[in-house]
């Protein structure tokens, strides 16, 4: 079973590699990613968050209770962006950290599905925000990278205290 990777693990800051062909291992990976995402009450998960440096994203903005909008994007790429909105984001790999981030309000994404079909998707609102967040993960960028030095430093001190308590 896959495990979530937490900041400051260096794998989270590495660029993921494209997937050349979709096989049973890819399908198994996405299935396990959905399990981890739902178990941790997330709406999106990128493969680097489970230690796999591949360009794979699972998303379900209906949430871990409903689970009725699962979406797998392989090698996703934002090809068009419009507008701007600010929202507060959290991340499964950064427990207890939230920050406001400005993102495009409408995006056009090109990706491959699990059947190997190239597709496009227009996303807005929560789906657009979620996809931008997860694609950032594929590029080694985290929400903490959007925060100022002071917020980042405070979070890192909080993590050190939490680690000392666990020992």
* 129-167 pLDDT tens trace: 999 999 999 999 999 999 999 999 999 998 888 877 766
pTM > 0.85:
yes
User: DSSP letter at 45?
Assistant: E
* 79-122 pLDDT tens trace: 999 999 999 999 999 999 999 999 999 999 999 999 999 999 99
CA separation for the pair 160, 167 (Å, rounded): 11
Residues carrying an active site annotation: 134
CA separation for the pair 118, 83 (Å, rounded): 25
H or E segment to which residue 90 belongs: strand 85-90
CA separation for the pair 25, 159 (Å, rounded): 34
φ/ψ bin of 16: left (φ > 0), alpha (ψ from -120 to 50), beta (otherwise) = beta
Cβ atoms of 134 and 46 closer than 8 Å = yes
* 59-82 pLDDT tens trace: 999 988 898 999 999 999 999 999
H or E segment to which residue 118 belongs: strand 118-124
Average pLDDT over residues 33-61: 97
Main-chain phi, psi angles of 125, to 5 degrees: 55, -135
Q: Which two tokens stand for residue 22?
A: 């979709």
What is the per-residue burial (b if ≥16 Cβ within 10 Å, else e) of 12-42? beeebeebeebeeebeebbebbbebbbeeeb
Pairing of strands 44-46, 71-82: unpaired
CA separation for the pair 57, 95 (Å, rounded): 19
CA separation for the pair 145, 94 (Å, rounded): 12
Domains of the chain: 10-166 (3.90.45.10)
């Amino acid at each position: 079973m896959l495990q979530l990777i937490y900041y400051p693990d260096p794998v989270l800051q590495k660029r993921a590699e494209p997937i050349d062909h979709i096989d049973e291992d890819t399908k198994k990976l996405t299935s396990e990613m959905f399990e981890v995402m739902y178990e941790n009450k997330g709406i999106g998960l990128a493969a680097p968050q489970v230690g796999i440096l591949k360009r794979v994203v699972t998303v379900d903005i209906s949430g871990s209770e409903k689970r009725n909008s699962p979406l797998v994007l392989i090698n996703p790429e934002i090809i068009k962006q419009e507008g701007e909105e600010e929202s507060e984001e959290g991340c499964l790999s950064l427990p207890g950290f939230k920050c406001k981030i400005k993102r495009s309000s409408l995006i056009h994404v090109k990706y491959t599905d699990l059947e190997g079909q190239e597709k496009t998707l227009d996303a807005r609102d929560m789906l657009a925000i979620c996809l931008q967040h997860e694609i950032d993960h594929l590029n080694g960028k985290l929400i903490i990278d959007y925060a100022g030095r002071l917020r980042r430093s405070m979070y890192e001190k909080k993590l050190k205290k939490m680690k000392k308590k666990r020992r």
